[in-house]
Amino acid sequence: MKNFKILAVLFITIIGLMSFTSMVESTKYKCMIQMTNYTGEGAYIVISLINPEGEYEETLHVKGEDDEWYNTVEEWWDFYGKKRNDIDAITGATIRGGERSISVIEIADDKLDKGYKLRFETAVEDQEYYTSDVEVELTYANVKGKYDGKGFIRYVRLMPQ
């Protein structure tokens, strides 16, 4: 009897856990960032998913491997700095003025056309910080396109893989 109870608890727990692991499909997007011809150090760039309330939901990609400088990406740091999830898998090298880089980001399909946004946040050592260098409404129409930046980014191009 006792054993049965334990089994039942275990069973319910497993079912419960499984229901949280989303079964939602996701798509990979190619994302090219082309920098302006600024001079100075490589830029720290964070690509985040912003929910309809305007809050950070998920970090999609980080350019910059030296976490000493992460706090210069101020707003994102408020979100990320507290929890410090493991972002090794989605981290790449910084890119400098005039350079470009192609990275891959993965976005759950159910986030599209729901008022979510894609935010590109940039900061350069001892220079300016742009909270939303590029910000794109996440819609089916927008995931293929080219978006001009306001700061260190000249433009961003997106394309579903």
Partner 1 sequence: MTISIWRYSHFALAVSSAIFILLATVTGIVLAFEPISNQLKPYAITNTDDIKLSKVITVLQDEYDEIVSVEVDNNNFVKASVFTFDGDSETFYLDPNTGKKLGELEKKAPIFEFATNLHRSLFLKSTGRFLVGLFSFLLLLIAITGIQLIIKRQGGLRKFFSKVVKENFEQYYHVVLGRWFLIPIVIITLTGVYLSLEKFDMLPASKMEHTEIVDQQSKEKLELSQFKIFNDIHLDELVTLDFPFSEDEEDYFILQTTSGEFYINQYTGNVLSEAKKPLVSQLSYWSLILHTGQGTIVWAVVLLLACFAILFFMYSGFAMSFKRLAKGSKVKNKFTKDTAEYIILIGSETGHTNKFAHQFYNALVEAGNTVYFSTLNQYDSYKEAKHIIIFTSTYGEGEAPRTAKSFEKLLPTIQQANSIKYSVVGFGSLMYPDFCKYAIEVDEWLHNHPNFEQNLPVFKINNQSFQAFKNWVIQWNEVTKQDLKVILTKPLVNRKKLKNFKVISNSGLNIDDTFLIELRPEKKLKFQSGDIMSFYPEDDNIERQYSVAKVDDSILLSVKKHEFGKCSTLLSQLSIGDTIEGKVNRNLDFHFPSYAKEVVMIANGTGIAPFLGMLNETNKDIKTHLFWGGRTKASFQLYASHIENATQKGYLDNFNVAYSQEQETKVYVQDSIKANETLISSALKNDGVIMICGSIAMQNRVLEVLNSVTTTTLNEPLSTFENNEQILMDCY
Q: Which residues are at the interface with partner 1 (CB under 8 A)?
A: 28, 30, 32, 37, 39-41, 65-66, 68, 88, 92, 98, 100, 102-104, 125-126, 157, 159, 161
Least Å distance between CB 82 and partner 1? 23
Cβ proximity to partner 1: between 51 and 142 the closer is: 142
Cβ atoms of 143 and 161 within 8 Å: the answer is no
Q: Of all helices (H) and strands (E), which one includes residue 118?
A: strand 117-124
Q: Pairing state of beta strands 145-148 and 91-92?
A: unpaired
Least Å distance between CB 76 and partner 1? 20
Cβ atoms of 76 and 83 within 8 Å: the answer is no
Cβ proximity to partner 1: between 32 and 108 the closer is: 32
CA dist., res. 129 & res. 119, Å (int): 14
Cβ proximity to partner 1: between 28 and 114 the closer is: 28
Least Å distance between CB 78 and partner 1? 21
Cβ proximity to partner 1: between 105 and 138 the closer is: 105
Q: Of all helices (H) and strands (E), which one includes residue 19?
A: helix 2-20
Residue 159 Cα distances to 90, 95, 141, angstroms: 18, 20, 11
Least Å distance between CB 133 and partner 1? 19
